[in-house]
Structure 1
């Protein structure tokens, strides 16, 4: 045994260096083969290395792979029956690296074809056996260089050709060249899309209600169960194969893709072994090391985004007391880190297995000094204008006083993504994908003591703390099957199961009155100024099954076979919601606590003052969403007038049912609507789509499209009970059916319906150079029943309604241009951007105008149309890029400007005004530098202009002169605010970060 062990050790010692040396002296060539005319992947195309006699064939996705190729320069020959033999010369293989090479293969010219085809330098008159390397070696072939092929951006062009609608795309090779670290950063390279809050995609300015996010073609639920958007910064670029942005609807997409659909396609079997590590740190100029930062310092596991259990209050608070989470701390730097690993190998002969996984973590701090002025109007009958009430009377409970609120936010995000693929045959693949993300956010806020009494003897104080913990776990199983025995058809299926959790705890210390003479606090119980605290837990379970079958109709005598696509999808979502509430309802004597107790203590025990009543559970409330969908569509390519056309027609049927049961209250508020009959949504809809794509020339293309889509309300918008929002301190009320908002004199609301959107698109594209593009897109949308947010009371009480209709008319202009036409020196510079103008109008609803919006003749006192909810009029994006691949340097300066957006709709019966988010301009700089083949460093400077973030009252309806006749800047109507119409103003601060990345292979 010892002898055998010694012999094995000696042999291993001799073989391992030899194997390692062989691996070090070899590399790989990998890529995909596409049909140059249609962009479809070519299955079982044959490839040989003329200089090394290596042979392989493409799989069901058109992918090929040469492994263990000795370092050197080679010529790759590609052949497939019906296509021209194609040679790519100058393909370099370096040790331990993979040379990615995608090839668009031209079809063999046919005498019956009316479509011009790419001419060849030579061609074979007879077909050969594509499985015979010897015969392929003897073929005469057209020849191009690897450099020219790579410059064509083949995969992205192929994706566009395959598309049935208007799309833009990025490949994994693009993301590598752009040196992006995650999908949020990558999507900024796609024209027509910008990123909100550094992580949410916005298509043509439409909010996430009108945009869907898919993971490998299946709708992905958001980690936040109250919104549709998915955080894109949690997907590392190392895991992504393709990023596809569909800007028009086709029947194989979800019906809620009115604005667009973003499909994140993860890698299956990686082209090579990968392992990467990245660490980063950064600061925000108004936050880092700021000793005024507001925090609680309660959670022991906040760094793992698990702080809810440390903050939730018990159902029975026997000791009584109040929470004062206004501890001042000094946050340090922001931190981030990620690691990824992947590999491929063969089992049982030629069966392939691939694995790829990534894990990331980051911690960010934000500090804001928010200047607020909550004001209501005094609507003047017959004049159609509103005078804002001044802020001289803080005792009026219908107003919130102006002041500077100190706000501190700490956010931790932990996410992971893993994929395991198995390919038993070249044309069969099975894949399992697991995705996990957890986010923990603490939001602490105080209003420092201020003097609002005429006698100057009493100060007022406000404090609040909120913590939310969100988690999403997703399991996805999918299969892709190419079936040559069934007319070369494709069968794709997937099943996705996910659970999402959202736990929140919110504590408000409302208003405390501080008596300077006695140096004691007392609770101001006037109006709704009570101590309120509550926690809520939301559990959601999602199941989605999807089946797609694509059949080429090769028996039809056309140059390119038409394709028939049919499929179905089933989605079921179950939600359970429970809210635990407590409120200060026992009026005792003053709190005998000194001022410093409220400045440092986290939990102030009862001191003979206000007690907290035992918690009361108001639920659970349950919701269900079920969607059954099926579709049929046909793609017919044809040649007419020497131009290549692709006609697409089809329809999608969706049967949707959404319901939410349960009631609840929030103690300590003075408003609650009257809910009558609850009316769940139960609608079946046909969604047709027609498109015609025309290639006038290889460079100039025209795309026409019409489609119908829908937008559905969320569970939160249907819930028949109030919910406190951490985002803006508002109380949100759902609209599940027959609702009376304030009094019997107010109109009765009939409940939310799903919105219907008719979409029209005309797009002109002109490609020139390698990846240069100029395009103009005209679009028109008719929206029936758009879901909008109403400000029904001035104290941030909001409500959802959709009883009107609107239109969006717009034009989008895009340009991307390399400046090499000015000379070789300029070839490393790129300039681009896009501009979108949208004329979006909606009719004012009966609810908005109420009984006071009309004159004695029944005419509206206000314009009958106003701006569409949450839709900017202008969006401008621009970038200037310097990329010198020989140096490994990439520098991008990008700018974004978004015009004002309607944030909430006013409610004249209560004299509340519409509120707008003012225009914002951002400027970002990103510098990436490769230090070695494996090591790189990146510097980012974001929000360099640091503009004011203003929310303003509708400037067209406000008469400032009525509240401030002398127009004095130091008047209460102006004091402390950046804008005289402002409701709130703050700055986000500039952020600077550095990250270092190392690739081990």
Structure 2
């Protein structure tokens, strides 16, 4: 019987093969313009895993077995449509489809736009049709350029650069305080005590549909804006079902070259750790974590799981569920010079630094979207991120007054764990043909801890090569704990009313009114336990890699050392911040002619920001309050020169708030520099202007040129203070500054080949040239702050600004047998010199020097289920250098190489 069954299956297969495959194919067009084909429409067979997209000419084709199917067509800006078809054996079923445009067309400014976009060409079409000046980077471009997180993705956008060694972004030369970050249009809190924005490296591209970058201001955005707003749009599942698993491994060439890769003991490999303050306070040695490093194998790993499912509810409703979990681990090592010098070039501290590091991220996301009916949708998003950074640093060399024979050693172990919780509820509702309602609310929490940062300072006896503890100050040997909790509630609601109906049933104008609210609280506390070495132990030799042999309960009981804090108690240093923003806004969008559309907006914001502190610099405690109303106008115009080209113009007024820690009188100590807050810091006012020409030769091609200018009153900069410890603070350094620049971008298909012309060689290039200048006034600084400093120069560029930014990529794409593909990309990124901090008292400015990097990315689909990926990044491994531009010649104060990063991954879709 079994043999008969196999013979039957074989016979059926032969007959089917002989008859040829069955297909469903056709062309998708706009219902109102039959000649306008729609590229990259999502086409799926309901109840199956079969799906495709239309090509750039609107054509599609799906191989199927004979049977009955429900074909679903979905496309942003158009109503989803379904067709029932029966396909016979060997039949080539033709199914053309005309899609009806949704009422919320792309030529309007949508207050909370949450579009589902992944393909590069679809995002370019949206960019072309919107009145706003936006740039996007989506999932398809993430894959092509081999970026693994939001920070790396955004750094590929014209005019944006990333600070080396962090996820901090510079938009048009303006740093963290001038930018803002949102998730699905709603604000998200920062994970860093020193930063306004969350580290974008926390967001893996697995959870991102696309990223939208607004470089111009419109009235529906919060007014604390000058550089840009970066909006991360989370993935929104569109198919019928999905289950995919991906695993990978990565190595850093510097890390694997170390025969003994050492990290501090205690933190877990997965980045989830539980620390607490020492038991029994200052009366015993109650620290549970060892000071001795441990060896590990520096090979990183990654794993991710993605799943999605859609359910039809009745004739019109649909529920879509999507979840993803991701874990990623990376090891790095760097070695090089790290020093601070005086205005005369004399060393204050000069080290050969070795840094061992291990970073992990664990991310979980779930979203549920309910399409109640066409034009009405509710969506819930939950996001959890656990990000851990572990660093083991060794500094060997010169320490003034401690080790002036280049015989000093500082060992520093740092562990930082951040947890982010995001909850969002969003709604879009079409009430009728004229009225639409959009709303959203979120509750977000960030918890960040630096538990038990350790630092020990030693001096070597050069004749015996033995080490003893440095005893100049009690803080030379310490353990430090800090904790930050930030809670943020945000709410947004807007109503858009269309007017000026035309004879063809469209509307020339839209009037929108809305409210935005943001309510943020931050609580920060830190305590440092200083170890004072007894005088009779100052010559006791110690092993730098076995400090537990000295710092233990027995030696504490024998008074070989004692423990104290800045106030002699366990009461921590603290600061807290409150920020409340209520905003009302109104915009009018009007199409004056077939070619010209404009948006005028006005926003009123009531701001309250209060910072309180009690620290070692102010043991009594104090506070600083800013309470003001801001009126922010904006205007945007778009003129369609042709069907494929636009001219855009925009102008606006905004402001820049100082951040909590910048205003709190708190000291954060690094080994070679110290940062201290400035309670006298106050907001800047910003004036922005843009003029842009763009041309779209094909749906996936663009050429654009943008000129922009910014005028900033009372700009804020980081300034090196007059101190022996290289202190840096945040100061309004002058009355005004300006930035002017040009941005150029081109995306072009160089060659198409193959039967369907789907195989391509394409290239992309974007460049930004920027000139910034600000007037500096020492008199202004002395009059407005407690700092009696003399700035070295009377004018400078903005801190963080690079004159030239460049991104280029060349890609080869080949597809065959419908389910096999190969994609190779070579990418290059370059940024010119960037001002890190202003100099004072004849010290030169600190400048990060120009750097460029090459990446190679390869991705291949072996079948419709299996894929491989490989990347080699930072192939030329250039030196990262910072110089102090003293009179005479620049002095290098920081120099190291990051090594080459290799990764290999495989994914399987069930």
TM-score of the alignment, normalized to the shorter chain, above 0.5:
yes
Contact 2:136 2:210 in 1 (8 A): yes
Which of 658, 675, 684 does residue 732 from structure 1 map onto? 675
Contact 1:282 1:993 in 2 (8 A): yes
What is the CA–CA distance in structure 1 between the aligned matches of 2:406 and 2:173, rounded to whole Å? 47
Range moving further from structure 2, 759-768 or 206-215: 206-215
Which of 203, 207, 215 does residue 171 from structure 2 map onto? 203
Which of 426, 434, 441 does residue 389 from structure 2 map onto? 441
CA change 1:418–1:403 in 2 (3 A) is same
CA change 1:815–1:675 in 2 (3 A) is farther
What is the CA–CA distance in structure 1 between the aligned matches of 2:191 and 2:24, rounded to whole Å? 38
TM-score where L is the length of structure 1: 0.75
Which of 419, 431, 450 does residue 367 from structure 2 map onto? 419
Partner of 1:466: 414
Matches within 5 A, 1:847-996: 863-886=793-816, 887-908=820-841, 912-954=843-885, 957-960=886-889, 981-996=891-906
Matched, 1:775 2:700: no
Contact 1:362 1:412 in 2 (8 A): yes
What is the CA–CA distance in structure 2 between the aligned matches of 1:253 and 1:562, rounded to whole Å? 20
What is the CA–CA distance in structure 2 between the aligned matches of 1:32 and 1:264, rounded to whole Å? 30
What is the CA–CA distance in structure 1 between the aligned matches of 2:262 and 2:371, rounded to whole Å? 53
What is the CA–CA distance in structure 2 between the aligned matches of 1:505 and 1:74, rounded to whole Å? 50
Q: What displacement does 1:720 show?
A: 2.0
Matched, 1:388 2:358: no
Q: What displacement does 1:511 show?
A: 3.1
Q: What displacement does 1:372 show?
A: 2.3
Range moving further from structure 2, 324-333 or 626-635: 324-333
Partner of 1:502: 448
Matched, 1:789 2:718: yes
CA change 1:829–1:90 in 2 (3 A) is closer
Q: What displacement does 1:488 show?
A: 3.0
Contact 1:368 1:987 in 2 (8 A): yes
3-state SS of paired residue (1:304): coil
Q: What displacement does 1:153 show?
A: 6.8
Q: What displacement does 1:304 show?
A: 3.1
Contact 1:30 1:101 in 2 (8 A): no
Partner of 2:521: 574
CA change 1:132–1:36 in 2 (3 A) is closer
Partner of 1:700: 645
What is the CA–CA distance in structure 1 between the aligned matches of 2:799 and 2:131, rounded to whole Å? 30
Query: What's the Cα RMSD here?
Result: 4.3
The structure with the largest alpha-carbon Rg is: 1
Matches within 5 A, 1:101-180: 102=75, 155-170=122-137
Which of 584, 588, 592 does residue 531 from structure 2 map onto? 584
What is the CA–CA distance in structure 2 between the aligned matches of 1:72 and 1:624, rounded to whole Å? 49
3-state SS of paired residue (1:440): strand
What is the CA–CA distance in structure 1 between the aligned matches of 2:170 and 2:389, rounded to whole Å? 23
What is the CA–CA distance in structure 2 between the aligned matches of 1:98 and 1:32, rounded to whole Å? 13
CA change 1:885–1:593 in 2 (3 A) is farther
Range moving further from structure 2, 403-412 or 441-450: 441-450
Q: What displacement does 1:690 show?
A: 0.8
Range moving further from structure 2, 492-501 or 89-98: 89-98
Matched, 1:92 2:62: yes
CA change 1:772–1:455 in 2 (3 A) is closer
CA change 1:259–1:551 in 2 (3 A) is same
Matched, 1:256 2:224: yes
3-state SS of paired residue (2:311): strand
3-state SS of paired residue (2:751): helix
Q: What displacement does 1:904 show?
A: 1.4
1:293-322 residue CA offsets vs partner (Å, 9 max, x unmatched) = 3421223xx223233517867633514899
Matched, 1:656 2:607: yes
What is the CA–CA distance in structure 1 between the aligned matches of 2:834 and 2:766, rounded to whole Å? 19
Contact 2:468 2:542 in 1 (8 A): no
Which of 687, 692, 716 does residue 763 from structure 1 map onto? 692
Q: What displacement does 1:590 show?
A: 1.6
Q: What displacement does 1:237 show?
A: 4.3
Matched, 1:845 2:777: yes
Which of 315, 324, 337 does residue 303 from structure 2 map onto? 337
Matched, 1:682 2:682: no
Gaps of 5+ in 2: 1-15, 86-94, 100-116, 784-789
What is the CA–CA distance in structure 2 between the aligned matches of 1:320 and 1:153, rounded to whole Å? 56
Q: What displacement does 1:288 show?
A: 2.1
Matches within 5 A, 1:211-230: 211-230=179-198
Q: What displacement does 1:839 show?
A: 0.7
Range moving further from structure 2, 505-514 or 469-478: 505-514
Matched, 1:368 2:334: yes
CA change 1:679–1:33 in 2 (3 A) is farther
Matched, 1:836 2:771: no
Q: What displacement does 1:525 show?
A: 3.0
3-state SS of paired residue (2:255): coil
CA change 1:225–1:849 in 2 (3 A) is closer
What is the CA–CA distance in structure 1 between the aligned matches of 2:550 and 2:764, rounded to whole Å? 54
3-state SS of paired residue (1:286): helix
What is the CA–CA distance in structure 1 between the aligned matches of 2:322 and 2:643, rounded to whole Å? 37
What is the CA–CA distance in structure 1 between the aligned matches of 2:419 and 2:402, rounded to whole Å? 49
Range moving further from structure 2, 773-782 or 225-234: 225-234
What is the CA–CA distance in structure 1 between the aligned matches of 2:283 and 2:821, rounded to whole Å? 61
Q: What displacement does 1:204 show?
A: 2.9
Q: What displacement does 1:291 show?
A: 3.1
Q: What displacement does 1:228 show?
A: 3.1
3-state SS of paired residue (1:160): helix
3-state SS of paired residue (1:589): helix
1:700-729 residue CA offsets vs partner (Å, 9 max, x unmatched) = 21111101122211111111222335xx75
Q: What displacement does 1:873 show?
A: 1.1
Range moving further from structure 2, 285-294 or 592-601: 592-601
Contact 1:294 1:328 in 2 (8 A): yes
3-state SS of paired residue (1:616): coil
What is the CA–CA distance in structure 1 between the aligned matches of 2:459 and 2:799, rounded to whole Å? 39
Partner of 2:472: 526
Q: What displacement does 1:363 show?
A: 1.4
Matches within 5 A, 1:51-66: none
CA change 1:837–1:459 in 2 (3 A) is closer
1:595-650 residue CA offsets vs partner (Å, 9 max, x unmatched) = 436457487323753322265323443220111111101111132xxx61111111
What is the CA–CA distance in structure 1 between the aligned matches of 2:370 and 2:78, rounded to whole Å? 27
Partner of 1:551: 497
Matches within 5 A, 1:806-825: 806-820=737-751
Gaps of 5+ in 1: 1-20, 43-61, 77-86, 107-129, 144-149, 378-386, 392-398, 666-671, 737-750, 852-859, 961-979
3-state SS of paired residue (2:269): helix
3-state SS of paired residue (1:155): helix
Which of 714, 732, 748 does residue 802 from structure 1 map onto? 732
What is the CA–CA distance in structure 2 between the aligned matches of 1:314 and 1:26, rounded to whole Å? 77
Question: How many pairs were matched up?
Answer: 835
Which of 613, 621, 631 does residue 575 from structure 2 map onto? 621
